[in-house]
Amino acid sequence: MTTLKISEKDDMILKILHYFITKEDYKPVIINGVENEIWLENFENDVKLIRININYIHNEEQLNYDYFKVKSIMKSIKKNTLSFKMNVINLLLDTGENVKIKANKNIETIKVNKVTDIKKNKTMQDLFPNIKTAEFTDKTDVLEFFKLTEDMNETTMKNEKKLAKIFSPKKPIITYSLIIINTLIFLLSLFNIVNIDDMYMMFGANYELVASGEFYRLFTCMFFHADLLHLIFNMYALYILGTRVERYYGSKRYIVLYLISGLVASLFSCVFNNINVISIGASGAIFGLFGSIAYFTYHYRGTLREFLTSGIIPTLLLNLIIGFANTGIDMAAHIGGIIGGLLIAMSIGIGDKTRKNDNINGIIVLLLMIAFLIYMVMIK
């Protein structure tokens, strides 16, 4: 009968991984071309990356090369996630006694001879206060080994289910409904036009009557378009953006995002444009979807590459270029939409990244901004 033995190094690796995955919400990162090292990420933490190096480092030259590798991988991850600053914990599990650790900017290197060294390390205690009470033992028996492995698998599966719920394909019913409603209203306007002023009055364009108490125009204006080209351009952008935002935020949050972003965009248009300027179209609400996508990619950095290679960024750039080049485009509404989209996304939260403090702060800032804008409209 053979006895299963667990090496001291495997034991250390398992316990380190178990703690950071199950207690600190880190996730493994797949990095091509590296051997005998494990990378973990958590962009919600001040320490974005944890690197566990199993390779033996026995002199200063090898240590310098190790620092070079860490910096190269950091640079690559920063580039792919558009991160400006990134702190890394570099855990060395097999280092010669004569090797002296050097200070490196944004890289905290720690020698680990046994797993309890992590718990006793002052830097680790400062960065991860919960580590002081972590249950680290110097040796794990076979049963505990399998239990720790099972815990990590369960945590990983829970995270995968959460991600699957967010990223799984869904029918964008609200987006399609909005496109149909906008199109029907445009067609209806074609059959009811007597003159341009009557059309604006009938279909609720956003202009000086808002200050007279017709606040419904702040919403109705986002469903009214001046001509066929205006409608096609906005509905194409809505299709590109809306289908993704509805998938990531869910239908209920999505409709809130769309309508309140349009409201904020309309208020910005009233406050920062001349009182006689008439504002119509869905573009303010659509720019709010851009803002919500920016908030989403900040929390889910893995989606950034997909967004950069999809039609979303070209659509945004095209809208901005046309807006700055054409004096007939309401840039105040576009800017207001983006700001509104960011704040609303912060207020309603997103997937498993929802934080109560962020929600409360987002709601407070959003309500204060809307109240201030309404006040400015009334005194203008």
Q: Does position 362 have pLDDT exceeding 70, yes or no?
A: yes
Q: What's residue 346's pLDDT?
A: 93
CA 34 to each of CA 51, 72, 109, 301, 368: distance values in angstroms, whole numbers, following the listed order: 11, 11, 18, 21, 50
Residue-wise pLDDT for 27-59, tens only, equals: 888 777 778 888 988 888 888 899 999 888 888
365: helix, strand or coil: helix
Assign 67 to helix, strand or coil.
helix
For residue 101, the 8-state DSSP code is P
Residue 253 clears pLDDT 60, i.e. is over it: yes
Mean pLDDT estimate for the chain: 82
Confidence band of 1 (pLDDT split at 50, 70, 90):
very low
Looking at residue 20, its pLDDT comes to: 87
Structure tokens at 289: 């979807």
Q: What percent of the chain has a predicted confidence (pLDDT) above 90?
A: 23
pTM confidence score: 0.73
* SS3 at position 108: strand
* Cα–Cα distance for residue pair 145/150, rounded to 1 Å: 9
- Strand, coil or helix: what is 342? helix
Task: Give the C-alpha separation, 340 to 180, whole Å.
Answer: 24
Please state the rounded mean pLDDT for residues 56-80.
87
Confidence of residue 180 (pLDDT cuts 50, 70, 90): very high
Proportion of the chain above pLDDT 70, given as a percent? 78
Query: Which residue from 227, 181, 224 is spatially nearest to 200, judged by alpha carbons?
Result: 224
3-state SS of the chain: helix, strand, coil percent to 5? 65, 10, 25
Give me the pLDDT at residue 2, please.
Answer: 47
Mean pLDDT for 263-292 is 87
CA angle 47, 53, 59 (to 5 degrees): 115
CATH of domain 169-379: 1.20.1540.10
Q: Which helix (H) or strand (E) holds 19?
A: helix 8-22
Which two tokens mark 307?
């967004």
List 89's β-bridge partners, or say none.
Answer: 50, 108
Instruction: Say how far apart CA 88 and CA 109 lie, in whole Å.
Output: 8
Looking at residue 89, its pLDDT comes to 92
Amino acid at 338: I
- For the stretch 280-339, pLDDT in tens is 889 899 999 999 988 888 877 666 666 655 666 666 666 666 655 555 678 889 999 999
Residue range 337-362: average pLDDT?
88
Residue 100 has pLDDT above 70, yes or no: yes
Give the per-residue pLDDT at 363: 94
